[in-house]
Structure 1
Amino acid sequence: MGMRILQETRDEIVRLYSKNVPIKELMERFGVSRSSIYNYLQLDRMHRSTNGNMAVTFRKITSMESELERLRLENEILKTCGCYIDAPLSEKLSGIDRLSNKYSIHLLCRTLNVLRSTYYHHSLRSPEQPLWEKEDAEIRPIVQQIFDESKERYGTRKLKAELENRGYEVSLKRLRRYMKELNIKSKQTQLKYFSSSNRKYMYRRNKLKQQFLQTAPNLVWVSDVTYVRVAKDFYAICVVIDLFSRKVLAYEIAPNNTAELIITTFLKAFELRDRPDGLLFHSDQGTQYTSYKFRTFLRGLGVKQSFSYPGIPYDNAVAESFFSSMKVEELSHHFYDVSKDLFRDVAEYVEFFNSKRLHQKLGYKTPDQIEAMYQNGELEQLSSKLEA
């Protein structure tokens, strides 16, 4: 049989409840059940009623407490979610996302007047990918492909030009971001070779005078020699380039830089171009180019000679630029133990230079493309590209 509670104890429970002491604390302090406390409260309200209205029931008390708790939580949600009931739907959905770990979705949606079906559709669907992210996902692998095809030689400007050839408009700033994200960087100079000479120069006429833009093939060819180390020796590389298209017409590699090397290279280009008339051949004043043997050889073919002024490499800038590019983009990244590796890499680079490498001075066209345009009679379009 349950313990009887004195009237004084009941009155004390009612008094403390009216002072906002929680029911749970009253249960623990006086050792009574929740239903008993509600019964005491009901009896107290019935005794206090003076107008004969309906008495407060246990259900009404419980409902009122639940309503008060709900209102408290709703007020708390409105203070912390950062938006109001009449805010745009996107803001309310974001607020629900932020508070979903603290409050129930049902309560959040009710407080902010959002249908639960609307919220679940928002939270479960895949977020729409922005247009720039879609473009990045499409273009980034193409940038990597072009860079790999150039053997890591292309920088931002040539990558941009090649992308335009493939139908993609990309700014340099965006392209630099792609290269940073892909962790790619064009090859840089690692090895440089220098030569010096104390010989005295004779005056030789510079007929070219840095007129590097020519209007047709086989008007002016330029030539130069550079050196590459193979094991403990140095090999000489000689090239002949047509100024019109910047195409490497011929090249030769030999252990020694001799007049025979220059003659062999020139003759190879001369035969390839069907022995053109009225040709001007420009070079620096290296001993092989100024030798009696080579000058006599050119005169016999009806070729005029032009020379750079001593100490002014800009007079032969096109040939110098080719060797600089080949060293930066290929040769300086290898140490050659045997000559066959050098022969292989030079052959590969010359093929790349003529058929694939985009040239800024040629309107980001390759030498082969420029010559094909000339052969097809596209001279006006070609001229506008060169002038730009």
Structure 2
Amino acid sequence: MGKPNFSDEFKRDAVAQITERGYPVAEVSQRLGVSTHSLYAWKRQFAKVVSGDAGKDAEIRQLKRELARVTEERDTLKKPPRVFRQGCKVRYAFIAEHRDRFGVRAMCRCLAVQPSGYNAWRKEPLSRRACEDARTTLIRQAWNDSGRVYGYRKLHDDLLDQGETCCPNRVARLTKLAGIKAQIGYRRRPGSHSGRPSLVIDNALARQFDVEAPDRVWVTDITYIRTMEGFSYLAVVIDLYSRRVVGWSMQSRQTSDVVLQALHMAIWRRKPKSRVLIHSDQGSQFTSIDWTAFIRAHNLEHSMSRRGNCHDNAVAESFFSSLKRERIRRRTHKTRQEARQDVFDYIEMFYNPVRKQVRNGMLSPVQFEQQQTLNAQGV
């Protein structure tokens, strides 16, 4: 098959990761599996053009920087006044403790110490207590990098990746002392099961969620995301081999087109060489004539959950639970486009290439597939 044609929406979302969210081009290229040449071309084509008076914009930026500096110094001065009456080492310790919140130079100005003295103090050998504090800082940084969703098990695995030696119980104790908690649970919109589906297919999957090779079994489902403009509907296709989201689509209406677009993305992304079993629930989108015709045209085998039984499609339900718990329900989306950009960032920049999966041996879906490929080649 020829080179895949990415949609304009996908290109704009990819460019937004560089221009709006600040990701390096090389990192976006690695996570999305797109060449840097293509990203630069998309950036020239879709990057937003800044209009207006350049001099006025520069003045506004300068005023914003000045306001941020003054606000930071004001917030620093709100801290307990006893710190200002202590020696330099106490002030240095205060700066080290709050450097993740305030700028080092701003605190040095407020505390009347030199940044060079603070840097020299940091290079001194650390006490045992300071080493514990440093390890807590690493745990908090790993927690922040995960979007504040990881628990102590995955944080422990992150520390091991960084070369730290510690046991899970120790990490659990430090996370408790630091007030770090995993993001768990969310309220679910109650559903209804009225009416009868126009087409019912046997449950060929039968909850056999562990498969031995990629592109053997895919699961798909659809959910809603609330925005201030109204609901957006997200459809995903997940490969059970690595739990990787191989296709997704997001639209303002809950029609069969949204699930067809997600399945179409999965097909041209993965290009399966053998017949794939695609499992869904009994929703109207998956019993439509268009869906059935698409399945037959692309040599796919359809499987359906039993009526009203969410456990038959537990992997897709679990992904939606993680998405809403770790990202969607932690912020308010003003527009559908903003929600789509957030979903793109979660799936393409975090979930697939970075987020650890316990089932994958604490590897992300992309890392798991790469490792299995190397193992198969005997590398």
TM > 0.5: yes
Which of 210, 215, 219 is the matching residue for 1:213? 210
Counterpart in the other structure of 2:279: 282
Query: Counterparts of 1:183-222 in structure 2 under 5 Å?
Result: 183-201=179-197, 203-222=200-219
Alignment TM-score, normalising by the size of structure 2: 0.62
Contact 1:239 1:250 survives alignment (8 Å): yes
Listed as ranges, the gaps of 5+ residues in structure 2 are: 1-124
Listed as ranges, the gaps of 5+ residues in structure 1 are: 1-126, 382-388
Aligned length: 254
Cα distance between partner residues in 2 of 1:379 and 1:233: 49
Structure 1 residues 7-27: Cα deviation after superposition (integer angstroms, max 9, x where no partner): xxxxxxxxxxxxxxxxxxxxx
Cα distance between partner residues in 2 of 1:238 and 1:340: 16
CA separation of 1:153/1:303 partners in 2, compared to 1, >3 Å: closer, same or farther?
same
The residue type paired with residue 170 of structure 1 is C
Cα distance between partner residues in 1 of 2:296 and 2:203: 17
Which of 320, 325, 349 is the matching residue for 2:322? 325
Is it true that 1:175 corresponds to 2:175 in the alignment? Answer: no
Cα distance between partner residues in 1 of 2:330 and 2:194: 31
Counterpart in the other structure of 1:161: 157
Q: Cα distance, 1:323 vs. partner?
A: 0.4
The residue type paired with residue 223 of structure 1 is T
Query: Counterparts of 1:27-66 in structure 2 under 5 Å?
Result: none
State the SS of the aligned residue for 1:376: helix
Query: Counterparts of 1:230-245 in structure 2 under 5 Å?
Result: 230-231=227-228, 233-245=230-242
Higher deviation after alignment, 294-303 or 133-142: 133-142
CA separation of 1:379/1:144 partners in 2, compared to 1, >3 Å: closer, same or farther?
farther
State the SS of the aligned residue for 1:327: helix
Which of 127, 140, 143 is the matching residue for 2:139? 143
Q: Cα distance, 1:191 vs. partner?
A: 4.7
Cα distance between partner residues in 1 of 2:287 and 2:206: 18
Cα distance between partner residues in 2 of 1:182 and 1:206: 47
Is it true that 1:336 corresponds to 2:295 in the alignment? Answer: no
State the structure with bigger RCO (CA 8 A, min sep 6), 1 or 2: 2
Cα distance between partner residues in 1 of 2:252 and 2:238: 21
CA RMSD of aligned residues (A): 2.4
Cα distance between partner residues in 1 of 2:300 and 2:280: 13
Higher gyration radius (CA): 1
Alignment TM-score, normalising by the size of structure 1: 0.61
Higher deviation after alignment, 347-356 or 188-197: 188-197
Is it true that 1:370 corresponds to 2:358 in the alignment? Answer: no
State the SS of the aligned residue for 2:203: coil
Cα distance between partner residues in 2 of 1:316 and 1:338: 30
Higher deviation after alignment, 219-228 or 185-194: 185-194
State the SS of the aligned residue for 1:170: coil
Q: Cα distance, 1:134 vs. partner?
A: 5.8
Contact 1:227 1:236 survives alignment (8 Å): yes
The residue type paired with residue 172 of structure 1 is P
